Amino acid sequence: MKVRDVLNEVERLAPPHYAFGFDKVGLQVGDPTADVEKIVVSLDSGIGAIEFATSVGANLMVTHHPVIWDELTAVRSDNWAQRRVIELVRRGISLIAAHTNWDCAPGGINDALADRLGLEHVVSFGWGEKSERWKLVVFVPIANRDFLADQLSAAGAGVIGNYDRCAFFTEGVGTFRGGAESNPVIGERGRVEEVAEARIEMVVSGERRGVVEATLRAAHPYEEPAFDWVQLADGVAHPCGRIGDLQGVENFQGFVDDRLGSRSEMWVGHDHPVRRVAVVGGAASGEWQAALALGADAYITGEVPQHVALEASESGLTILACGHYSTEQPGMVRMGSLLAEVCSIPVVVFEPGMGLSGRPR
């Protein structure tokens, strides 16, 4: 298995277009054609994680936090950020980063966090990278309607939130006359034909437009299919946050710390039981207002500045700071499990000791 093969699997789980515009994701260090012997999955890309990868014989790391964030103007061993790059190259270890794309992706960091807490009826909310959107309108004989809709769906058309193969059908009559060089599937050259046709409408994200159009041309029965692209207002590729219901918990802070292995700080916003909980792992205190607007009783994230804690709690929202590691490590454990299912090589998840390599004590 090559580095590029693992990269393809990571990007299938965490599509790059979900990443925020400021982020740095993908293959950051290494040769995409190199063979992979073992993978280490890690939340952080620190020296401790790199040394762990070496100790277990891994030559590829998949991390949440990128190893290269700012533009490199030098690569020096006396600079911690740059030294990590030196160590990776020296040890022959490639590195793939899946950061905010894994935060936002279905099944990713924040779904894993919601699952760890036992939330039910979970939906997405909040931040998300803007995504160019189009509506595809295509006309096809009625007998071919469902086949074409299925092919377009498989290519990525018709995805709306948590639903796929979303389409609208109407029926009418299409007419055409083939020229001397045409090869009509229905009727004859030089004669006006009338065909009972279906109009199919499906939304398509900007990054899937080329693939969907190629699929349309290949799957459509006509020599010259008729179709339109209508540009829509930008949407959100996939929101980062998750919100859901929590049943039967009385000591909320104790419950959360037990599930996450954290020692949280909590600011209380009300005196009634917590039944609706919003989560965004890591540094995401700014999403508390969106959570409150959706009826959350409590908001869990990694880090909460004092001014946010004060404003949120005095606005009626209980807010918890559970730590970057505790809120994001469950998602990296899940990444490791998912890669192990599809990769033909060993996958090891790095879980540092308490107080070491980014894990608090």
CA angle (49, 53, 56) in 5-degree steps: 135
Same domain? For 293 and 340 the reply is no
Residue 354 lies in a domain: no
Token pair listed for 296:
């959350």
Domain membership flag for residue 22: yes
Which helix H or strand E contains 298, and what residues bound it? Answer: strand 298-301
Domain annotation covers residue 356: no
Task: Please tell me whether residues 232 and 264 are part of one structural domain.
Answer: no
Cβ atoms < 10 Å from Cβ of 295: 10
Residue with token string 């980063």: 97
Q: Does any domain span residue 232?
A: yes
- The answer on 88 and 61 residing in a single domain is yes
Amino acid at 233: A
Does some domain include residue 223?
yes
140/282 same-domain check = no
Give the CA count within 13 Å in the CB-facing half-sphere of 349. 15
In a domain, 359, yes or no: no
Distance in angstroms between the alpha carbons of the first and the last residue of the chain: 37
Closest C-alpha among 24, 27, 31 to residue 2: 31
Domain count, the chain: 3
The amino acid at 320: L
Same domain? 248 vs 225: no
Q: Among 187, 203, 236, where does a domain finish?
A: 236
- Among 67, 74, 85, 83, smallest CA distance to 25 is for 67
Identify whether residues 243 and 124 lie together within a single domain: yes
Residue 325 Cα distances to 52, 229, 320, 352, 357, angstroms: 17, 44, 14, 10, 10
CB–CB of 212/156 below 8 Å?
yes
Write down the pLDDT at residue 59.
98
CA dihedral (76, 81, 85, 88) positive or negative? positive
Residues 23 and 97 grouped into a single domain: yes
Which tokens is 69 given?
A: 């964030």
Q: Which residue has the tokens 């699997």?
A: 9
Q: Does 192 share its domain with 226?
A: yes
DSSP tag of 142: G
Q: Which pLDDT does position 238 carry in this prediction? A: 87
pLDDT value, residue 207: 85
Backbone angles phi, psi at 72, to 5 degrees: -85, 120
Residue 326, helix vs strand vs coil: helix
Please check whether residues 256 and 345 belong to one and the same domain.
no
Q: How many CB atoms lie within 10 A of CB 168?
A: 12
Give the CATH number, domain containing residue 332: 3.40.1390.30
Which of 236, 253, 270 is the last residue before a domain boundary? 236
Residues 190 and 175 in one domain: yes
Query: Does residue 229 share a domain with residue 134?
Result: yes
The CATH number given to whatever domain includes residue 171 is: 3.30.70.120
Contact of 40 with 60, CB cutoff 8 Å:
yes
261 and 340 share one domain: no
Q: Classify residue 230: in a domain, yes or no.
A: yes
Digit-by-digit pLDDT tens for the chain (361 residues) are 999 999 999 999 999 989 999 999 999 999 999 999 999 999 999 999 999 999 999 999 999 999 999 989 999 999 999 999 999 999 999 999 999 999 999 999 999 999 999 999 999 999 888 888 999 999 999 999 999 999 999 999 998 877 899 999 999 999 999 999 999 989 999 999 999 999 999 999 998 999 999 999 999 999 999 999 999 998 877 899 999 999 999 999 999 999 999 999 999 999 999 999 999 999 999 999 999 999 999 999 999 999 999 999 999 999 999 999 999 999 999 999 999 999 999 999 999 999 999 999 9
Residue 253 structural domain: 109-128+239-322
pTM score = 0.81
Asked whether residue 355 is domain-assigned, the answer is no
Tell me which of 236, 256, 279 is where a domain ends.
236
Contact assessment for residue 51 and residue 239, using Cβ atoms and an 8 Å cutoff? no
